[in-house]
Amino acid sequence: MAVDEGLKIELGKQGVFVTSLQELYNWGRRSSVWPMQFGLACCAIEMIATTMARYDMARFGAEIFRPSPRQADMMIISGTVTKKMAPQVVRLYNQMAEPKYVIAMGACAISGGPFKQGYNVLKGIDRYIPVDVHIPGCPPRPEALLQALITLQKKIDGQPLTGEGRPRFLDAEAQGEFPVPEQGEHDLEPPSNPAVWPVPLTINK
């Protein structure tokens, strides 16, 4: 039974705290997002700055960078993903425990950025793994990364635990494995994972 939002605020004024299991669960989930400790390129420097005293990522419960994917909840793709590195990134994402989130940080992680025309740079990590929050910038300032984290927390807060629109990890049917690409002759094989990234239609006139 859902409590009316207005009634909840009214009760709160009287010193009665009303919550639901879903809110409590999501509150716990969003307040302890532990990032994985790995940096790919120059964005990693901004990521490091974000964790330090001036920007203080610890305010959001996300300061504990874990060096092992088994203990991490969030993967910050901080920088250029080369095609040499992409299989490792996807494998690390696979090895993270559920629930897991991904922040694609910077122009390179989103789309390849200034190296988009390069033969050796992946044009966006969302071709292989589901990305929750994209932040543009080259590199994004620490404030932008904090904004991404806040956005992710809002997203977690809004997720229902049952029924339609529930997160992947609560769906027993949903797959947990994302195929790791391999180095092919000219490109990674496969060039993208159609389950997470539908190939856009190219129209040649």
Partner 1 sequence: MASNPYFSLAVLFAAALGFGLTPLGLAWLWGKVFSPAKPNAIKNAIYECGLESKGDAWVQFRSAYYLYAIIFLIFDVEAVFLLPFAVAFTGLGVSACLAMLVFVLLLVEGLAWAWAKGVLTWA
Give the footprint of partner 1 on this chain (CB under 8 A): 68-70, 87-89, 91-92, 94-95, 97-99, 169-170, 174-177, 180
Work out the burial of residue 24: count CB atoms within 10 Å of its CB; fewer than 13 is exposed, 13-18 middle, 19 or more buried: exposed
Q: How far apart are the first and last CA of the chain?
A: 56
Nearest approach, Cβ of 127 to partner 1 (angstroms)?
Answer: 17
Strands 188-189 and 182-183: antiparallel
Evaluate whether 127 touches 193 at the Cβ level (below 8 Å): yes
Q: How far is the CB of 88 from partner 1 (least distance, A)?
A: 3
- 31 or 68: CB nearest partner 1: 68
Which is nearer to partner 1, 144 or 180 (by Cβ)?
A: 180
- φ, ψ at 57 (rounded to 5°): -65, -20
Report d(CA 191, CA 128) in Å as an integer: 9
CA–CA distance, 16 with 104 (Å, rounded to integer): 40
Which of 26/140 has CB closer to partner 1?
26
Least distance to partner 1, CB of residue 90, Å? 9
CB of 87 to partner 1, least distance (A): 8
For partner 1, give the closer residue by CB, 124 or 167: 167
